[in-house]
C-alpha cells in the first residue's frame, strides 16, 4: 500500500527520551515461575496467537450465523444483530494483526480477510458521484451481484453461481489490490453500505429491504446479495479455521511447529518486527496520518460502519499483548506466560519499564479516540476527526500517532538489547 | 506543527545531552558539514525554481502575453525536478508542517488529487490563500499543479486553464509552494548548529539516503513495473504520470542523491575499514545514470510493450544493485543499523 509516513528519526527520539520511572508492571512476571528464556517466550507467543485466532474464529462463526438469520428473515432486528456480530468479530481479529508482519504465512493469507481500502463497486451498486475508485482499476464498477459474468482486464469470469471458492478467486481480480471481493470489509459493505456522509456524522445506511424478496426488494438483485453475503461469511470462517490450525499445538506439520523449532532469535525477531511495523508504518502512518493530513475519508479503515476507532484501538492492544505476553480472551479469561517484557526486564529493567509505560500511553491515547467516537452525547467518529479544520479531532489523532512513534523507538531499542541486529522484513509480498 | 515541534524539542534535548559526550571525530564532523552545505545548495535551487514557477503562473494568469502555457509548464517541471533532487532528505525542517507531503502527496492510489481539485474549483467563495492552506496536503503541492496543467480530462473541460478560477487556484498554489521553500531554506540554514553538534544526525542522514534508494527501487520502479504486490503493471502507481515525467523524476532523484548525499557518504567510507566500497558505489551511480537520457521518456509505453519493458528492467537492476551496495554493505561498514521506517507495513 501507500507509503507516506515520515516521523522524526527514531534514533533522535531515543537519544532524548527522558527516563520514565518504573510505574508499569509486567503482568506476566510471576513470582515462582522459572525465568523466561527466548525459547519459552516464542512458545508462549504461539499460544497467544492460537488463542487470538481461535477467538477470531468463534466470533466469525457467530457472525456467519447472524447473517444466515438475516438472509432467511430480513428484519431490522436481524440486521442489527448481524452488525453487532460483525463489530464483535473485529475485536479479536484486529488484535491478531500484530502477527501479520514478520510471519509471512499470515501476511500472505490476510489479504483475503482484511484487505482495504476497497473499490466496493466491484461487489454491489454504488452511488457513482460519491465513489472514488483506484486509478486504472478495470474491476472497480464490475458489480458482481448484478452480473452473471464480469470482464476485467480482458478476462471474462462466470459469476452466475456465488460460492466461497469463486469469491476467493475474484479477490484482487485483474491484479488490483482494491478489488476486494472477500473478508471483513466486504461483509461490512454488504451490511452497512456506502457511507455517503463524508466528514459529517453518520455511517452507511443500507436499507434492510436490500435483502427483501419480491417487489419489496430495493436496488435490485436482493437474492443475489443474500447469496453473496452467505458465501463471503462462509469463506471467512474456513479461512480462520485454516489459520487456527497453523498455530495449534501438537501438529508436526504446521507453522507453529516450524516457528518453535527454528532458532529462538528468529521468533523474537518476528515478534519485534510485527510490533514495530504495525505500530509505526501501518497504524500510525497508513491508517492515521495519511487520512488525517490529506483529510481523506477514502483512507479510513472501517469506512462503511464508522468502526475505525475500534480497529485502531485493538491494533494497539495487539501490540501490547505481544510485549506483555497477555491476552484477554472474548470469554473474559486471561492468557499469560513468558513475555518479551520478561526478557527485556532481565537485560535492562529501565527500558522495560519505559516501554511498558509507553504502551500504556498509546492505549490511553487510543482509548480517548474510542471514547470520543462512542460518546453517548455528541460522538465524533474517525471520519469526522479527520475533517478539515477539526482541531479537536486532529489533536486526538495526533496524540495517538505520537504515542505510537515513541513506543516504536523503544521497540527498536529492545531489539538491540536482545541482540536482534536486523529489523528488516522478509520478502513476503514481493514477487521478483 | 505538532510532529515537528516534538521532534525539535527532542533534538534540542539530545544536543544538550551530547554536549557532554566526547567530540565526534574530525571526519564525521567534516562529512556532516559537507552534507549540510550540499543540501543547502539543493534547497536553494528548489527555492529559485519554485519562485520562477510562481512568477510565471502569476504573469500568465494576469494575461501578460509574453507568458504562455508552455513556459508555465516548463517552470513547473523544473521546480518539480528540483524537489526530486532533495526529496531524500526526510529529517529536519522538511518535517515541519508536513512540508514533504505538502510538496508531494504520493502515492495517490485513490485519486484524491482529482477529488480535491473538484473541491478547490467548485467551492462557493473566491479562492484565497487560505483556500490552499486549509485544503490538506493533497491540494498543496506539485501534484495538484500537475493536475491543473496536465490532466487530460480536466484540460478538455470548460474549467481548463487559463479559465479564471482555475488560474487563480494555480497562482495561489504556486505561491504556496514557493513560500514553503522560502521557509524550508531559512529553517535549514538555522538548523546548521543543531545538525553539526549532534552526531545522531550522521545516522539520520545515511538512513535518509538508504530510505530514498529503497523507495526508488521498490515503490517508484518495482511497483509500477508489476514486480511487487499483485504483479500488475500500472503507471498510475508511478510519480508524475499525468505529465509523463515518471522517469525524469527518477533521474532527478538519482542525480540529487549523487550530488547532495553521496560526497559525505564517500568521505565516511574512505575512512572506514572498507574504503574500496567508496569506489564501487561511485561507479555504480555512474552505471545507473548511464540509463539516461535514453530513458528520459514516458513510462506508460514502456510498460505496455515487453521489448521496451526490458529497458526499464535494465534500470531497475542497476538501481537494485546500487541499493544493495549502499543499504547493506556501506551501512554495515560505517555502522548504521536500519530501524523501522515508513515503508514497513503493507
A9 closest CB neighbour out of B108, B204, B229? B204
Preceding peptide of A228 cis, ω within 30°: no
Measured distance CA(A165)–CA(A112) in Å, rounded? 11
**CB under 8 Å to A210, separation ≥6 — which residues?**
A193, A217, A218, A219, A222, A225
Q: Is the pLDDT of residue A6 over 80?
A: no
Q: What is the mean pLDDT of residues A112-133?
A: 90
Is the residue at B342 inside a domain? no
Q: Residues A161-169: contacts with CB within 8 Å, 24+ apart?
A: A162/A224, A162/A227, A162/A228, A162/A230, A162/A231, A163/A231, A164/A231, A164/A232, A164/A234, A164/A235, A164/A238, A166/A231, A167/A228, A167/A231, A167/A232, A167/A235, A168/A112, A168/A235
pLDDT for position A32: 58
Going by pLDDT thresholds of 50, 70 and 90, the confidence category of residue A427 is: very low
The larger pLDDT score, comparing residue B122 to residue A125, is at A125
Q: Is the same domain home to B134 and B261?
A: no
Mean of pLDDT over chain A: 89
Task: Name chain A contacts of B236, Cβ cutoff 8 Å.
Answer: 134-136
DSSP-derived secondary structure letter, B216: I
Residue of A nearest to B230 (CA): A175
Q: Answer yes or no: is B246 within a domain.
A: yes
Place of cell 496536503: B137
Same domain, B100 and B148: yes
pLDDT tens per residue across span A288-303:
999 999 998 888 889 9
Under an 8 A CB cutoff, do B342 and A296 touch? Answer: no
**Taking residues A88-103, what's their average pLDDT?**
96
Q: Are A325 and A48 in contact (CB under 8 A)?
A: yes
Domain check: are B176 and B52 in the same one?
Answer: yes
Among A53-62, A367-376, B60-69, B139-148, where is mean pLDDT lowest? Answer: B60-69
Which of B198, B229, B251 terminates a domain? The answer is: B198
Tell me whether residue B76 is in a domain. Answer: yes
Question: Does the beta-carbon distance from A2 to B207 stay under 8 Å?
Answer: no
Helix axes of B69-86 and B26-61: crossing angle, nearest 10 degrees: 160
Instruction: Give tens-digit pLDDT for A194-205.
Output: 999 988 999 999
The three grid cell numbers given for residue B27, joined into one nine-digit string: 571526519
B342 and A6 within 8 Å at the Cβ level: the answer is yes
Look at the block and give the residue holding cell 525477531. A269
pLDDT higher than 90, residue A123: yes
Q: How far is B235 from chain A (nearest CA, A)?
A: 9
Bond before B328 cis per omega within 30 degrees = no
At A136 the pLDDT is: 82
Domain coverage including residue A228:
35-115+182-417
**Could you tell me the residue range of the domain that residue B327 belongs to?**
199-336
Contacting residues for B62 by C-beta, under 8 A, at least 6 apart: none
Round the CA-based radius of gyration of chain B to a whole number and report it. 21
Is residue B224 within 8 Å of B246, Cβ to Cβ? yes
Angstrom distances, CA of residue A272 to CA of A24, A114, A285, B163 = 20, 22, 18, 54
Q: Which three cell numbers stand for residue A183?
A: 473478508
Helix A340-347 / helix A38-72 crossing angle, nearest 10 deg = 150
Look at A174 and B232 and tell me if their CB atoms are within 8 Å.
yes
pLDDT for residue B341 = 67
| pLDDT for position A420 | 87
Q: Which three cell numbers stand for residue B239?
A: 510519480
A117-121, A317-321, B306-310, B342-346: the lowest-pLDDT one: B342-346
Q: Which of chain B's residues have a Cβ under 8 Å away from the Cβ of A279?
A: 340
Structural domain contains residue B182: yes
CA atoms of A99 and A326, how far apart (whole Å)? 14
In the block, residue with C-alpha cell 479479536: A92
pLDDT digits (tens, 9 = 90+) for A26-35: 444 445 567 8
In a domain, A147, yes or no: no
Before A117, cis peptide (omega within 30)?
Answer: yes
Averaged pLDDT for residues A29-50 = 86
What does the alpha-carbon distance between residue A235 and residue A230 come to, in Å, rounded to a whole number? 9
User: Do B253 and B144 have their domain in common?
Assistant: no
What is the mean predicted confidence (pLDDT) over A382-401? 95
Q: Give yes or no: residues B156 and B253 share one domain.
A: no
pLDDT at A109 over 50: yes
Mean pLDDT of A131-139: 85
Inform me whether the pLDDT recorded for A429 exceeds 90: no
- Determine, for residues A429 and B105 on separate chains, whether the beta-carbon distance falls below 8 Å: no
Instruction: State the pLDDT at residue B344.
Output: 62
Per-residue pLDDT band for A232 (boundaries 50, 70, 90) equals very high
Chain centre to alpha carbon of residue B299: 18
- The DSSP symbol for B114 reads H
Tell me the C-alpha distance between B260 and B92, whole Å: 15
**What is A318-373 written as a DSSP string?**
HHHHHHHT-EE-TTS-EE----HHHHHHHH-HHHHHHHHHHHHHHHHHHHHHHHHH
Q: Could you tell me if B217 and B229 lie in one domain?
A: yes
Residue A432 has pLDDT above 70, yes or no: no
Contact assignment for B91 to A276 by CB distance below 8 Å: no
H-helix or E-strand containing B238? none
Q: Do B287 and B153 lie in a common domain?
A: no
Identify whether the C-beta of residue A280 lies closer than 8 Å to the C-beta of residue A404. yes
Is B226 in Cβ contact with A175 (below 8 Å)? yes
Q: Read off the CATH number of the domain in which B73 is found.
A: 1.20.1420.20
Mark the ranges of chain B whose per-residue pLDDT is less than 50: 1-23
Rounded Cα distance between B267 and B34, Å, is: 10
Element (H, E) at B77: helix B69-86
Q: Is residue B15 included in any domain, yes or no? A: no
Higher pLDDT, B107 or A225: A225
Count structural domains, chain A. 1
Res. A21: pLDDT tops 80: no
Please give the tally of structural domains in chain B.
2
Q: Which of A15, A285, A398 sits opposite B345 (nearest CB)?
A: A285
**A234 within some domain:** yes
Chain A interface, best mutation among B98, B211, B220, B345, by max A CB count within 10 A: B345
Distance from CA of A155 to the nearest CA of B (A): 14
pLDDT, one tens digit per residue, over B196-206 is: 999 889 999 99
Residue A342 lies in a domain: yes
- Chain A residues whose beta carbon lies within 8 Å of the beta carbon of residue B17: 15-16
CB contact (8 A) between residue A12 and residue B115: no
Residue of A nearest to B316 (CA): A432
For residues B326 and B185, state if they share a domain: no
In a domain, residue B14? The reply is no
Task: Please report, for the domain that includes residue A221, its CATH number.
Answer: 1.20.1420.20
End position of a domain, from candidates B181, B198, B215: B198
| Phi and psi at residue B229, to the nearest 5° | 65, -130
Pairs of CB atoms within 8 A across A/B: 189
> Within this chain, do residues B153 and B298 fall inside the same structural domain, yes or no?
no
Single out the residue of B246, B326, B243 nearest to residue B283, CA to CA.
B326
pLDDT of residue B11: 31
- Could you say which of B198, B219, B236 is where a domain stops? B198
What proportion of chain A, given as a percentage, has pLDDT over 90? 78
* A391 pLDDT tier (thresholds 50, 70, 90): very high
What DSSP letter does each residue of A203-258 carry, written as one string?
-----GGGG--GGG-SSS-HHHHHHHHHHHHHHHHHHHHHHHHHH-SS-TTSHHHH
Amino acid at each position: 500500500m501507500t507509503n507516506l509516513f515520515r516521523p522524526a528519526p527514531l534514533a533522535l527520539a531515543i537519544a532524548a527520551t527522558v527516563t520514565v520511572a518504573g510505574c508499569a508492571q509486567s503482568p506476566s512476571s510471576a513470582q515462582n515461575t522459572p525465568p523466561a528464556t527466548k525459547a519459552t517466550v516464542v512458545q508462549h507467543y504461539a499460544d497467544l496467537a492460537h488463542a487470538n485466532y481461535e477467538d477470531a474464529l468463534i466470533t466469525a462463526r457467530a457472525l456467519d450465523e447472524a447473517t444466515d438469520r438475516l438472509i432467511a428473515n430480513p428484519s431490522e432486528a436481524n440486521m442489527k444483530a448481524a452488525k453487532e456480530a460483525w463489530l464483535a468479530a473485529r475485536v479479536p481479529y484486529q488484535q491478531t494483526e500484530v502477527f501479520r508482519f514478520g510471519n509471512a504465512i499470515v501476511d500472505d493469507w490476510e489479504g483475503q480477510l482484511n484487505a482495504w481500502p476497497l473499490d466496493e463497486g466491484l461487489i454491489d451498486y454504488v452511488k457513482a458521484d460519491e465513489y472514488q475508485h483506484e486509478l486504472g482499476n478495470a474491476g472497480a464498477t464490475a458489480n458482481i451481484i448484478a452480473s452473471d459474468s464480469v470482464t476485467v482486464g480482458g478476462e471474462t469470469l462466470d459469476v452466475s453461481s456465488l460460492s466461497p471458492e469463486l469469491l476467493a478467486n475474484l479477490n484482487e481480480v485483474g491484479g488490483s489490490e482494491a478489488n476486494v471481493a472477500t473478508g471483513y470489509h466486504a461483509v461490512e459493505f454488504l451490511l452497512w453500505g456506502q457511507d455517503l456522509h463524508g466528514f459529517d456524522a453518520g455511517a452507511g445506511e443500507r436499507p434492510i429491504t436490500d435483502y427483501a424478496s419480491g417487489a419489496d426488494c430495493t436496488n435490485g438483485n436482493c437474492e443475489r446479495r443474500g447469496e453473496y453475503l452467505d458465501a463471503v461469511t462462509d469463506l471467512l470462517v474456513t479461512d480462520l479455521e485454516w489459520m487456527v490450525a497453523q498455530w495449534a499445538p501438537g501438529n508436526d506439520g504446521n507453522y507453529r511447529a516450524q516457528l518453535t523449532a527454528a532458532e529462538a532469535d528468529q521468533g523474537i525477531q518476528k515478534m519485534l518486527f510485527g510490533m514495530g511495523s504495525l505500530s509505526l508504518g501501518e497504524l500510525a502512518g497508513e491508517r492515521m496520518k495519511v487520512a488525517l493530513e490529506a483529510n481523506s475519508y477514502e483512507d479510513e479503515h472501517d469506512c462503511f460502519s464508522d468502526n475505525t476507532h475500534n480497529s485502531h484501538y485493538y491494533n494497539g492492544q495487539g501490540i501490547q499483548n505481544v510485549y506483555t505476553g497477555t491476552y484477554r480472551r472474548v470469554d473474559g479469561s486471561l492468557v499469560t506466560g513468558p513475555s518479551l517484557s520478561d526478557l527485556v526486564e532481565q537485560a535492562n529493567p529501565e527500558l522495560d519499564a519505559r516501554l511498558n509505560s509507553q504502551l500504556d500511553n498509546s492505549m490511553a491515547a487510543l482509548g480517548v479516540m474510542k471514547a470520543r467516537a462512542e460518546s453517548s452525547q455528541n460522538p465524533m467518529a474517525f471520519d469526522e476527526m479527520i475533517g478539515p479544520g477539526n482541531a479537536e479531532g486532529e489533536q486526538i489523532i495526533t496524540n495517538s500517532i505520537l504515542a505510537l512513534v515513541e513506543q516504536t523507538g523503544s521497540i527498536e531499542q529492545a531489539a538491540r538489547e536482545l541482540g536482534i541486529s536486523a529489523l528488516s522484513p522478509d520478502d513476503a509480498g514481493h514477487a521478483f | 506543527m505538532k510532529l515537528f515541534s516534538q521532534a525539535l524539542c527532542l533534538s534540542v534535548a539530545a544536543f544538550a545531552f551530547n554536549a557532554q559526550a566526547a567530540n565526534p571525530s574530525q571526519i564525521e564532523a567534516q562529512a556532516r558539514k559537507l552534507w549540510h552545505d550540499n543540501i543547502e545548495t539543493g534547497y536553494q535551487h528548489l527555492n529559485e525554481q519554485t519562485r520562477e514557477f510562481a512568477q510565471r503562473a502569476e504573469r500568465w494568469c494576469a494575461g501578460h502575453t509574453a507568458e504562455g502555457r508552455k513556459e508555465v509548464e516548463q517552470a513547473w517541471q523544473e521546480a518539480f525536478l528540483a524537489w526530486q533532487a532533495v526529496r531524500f532528505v526526510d529529517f529536519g525542517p522538511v518535517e515541519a508542517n508536513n512540508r514533504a507531503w505538502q510538496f508531494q502527496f504520493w502515492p495517490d492510489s485513490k485519486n484524491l488529487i482529482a477529488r480535491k481539485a473538484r473541491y478547490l474549483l467548485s467551492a462557493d467563495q473566491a479562492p484565497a490563500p487560505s483556500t490552499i492552506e486549509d485544503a490538506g496536503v493533497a491540494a498543496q503541492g506539485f501534484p495538484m499543479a500537475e493536475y491543473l496543467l496536465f490532466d487530460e480530462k480536466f484540460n478538455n473541460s470548460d474549467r481548463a486553464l487559463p479559465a479564471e478560477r482555475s488560474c487563480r487556484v494555480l497562482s495561489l498554489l504556486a505561491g504556496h509552494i514557493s513560500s514553503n521553500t522560502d521557509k524550508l531554506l531559512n529553517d535549514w540554514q538555522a538548523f546548521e548548529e543543531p545538525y553539526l553538534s549532534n552526531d545522531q544526525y550522521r545516522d539520520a542522514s545515511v538512513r535518509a539516503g538508504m530510505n530514498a534508494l529503497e523507495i526508488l527501487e521498490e515503490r517508484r520502479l518495482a511497483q509500477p513495473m508489476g514486480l511487487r504486490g499483485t504483479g500488475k503493471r500500472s503507471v498510475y502507481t508511478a510519480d508524475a504520470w499525468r505529465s509523463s515525467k515518471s522517469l525524469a523524476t527518477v533521474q532527478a532523484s538519482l542525480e540529487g542523491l549523487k550530488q547532495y548525499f553521496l560526497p559525505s557518504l564517500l568521505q565516511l567510507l574512505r575512512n572506514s575499514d572498507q574504503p574500496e566500497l567508496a569506489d564501487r558505489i561511485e561507479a555504480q551511480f555512474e552505471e545507473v545514470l548511464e540509463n539516461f537520457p535514453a530513458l528520459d521518456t514516458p513510462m506508460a509505453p514502456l510498460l505496455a510493450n515487453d521489448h521496451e519493458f526490458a529497458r526499464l528492467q535494465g534500470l531497475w537492476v542497476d538501481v537494485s544493485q546500487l541499493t544493495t551496495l549502499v543499504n547493506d554493505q556501506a551501512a554495515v561498514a560505517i555502522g548504521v543499523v536500519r530501524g523501522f521506517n515508513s515503508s514497513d507495513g503493507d
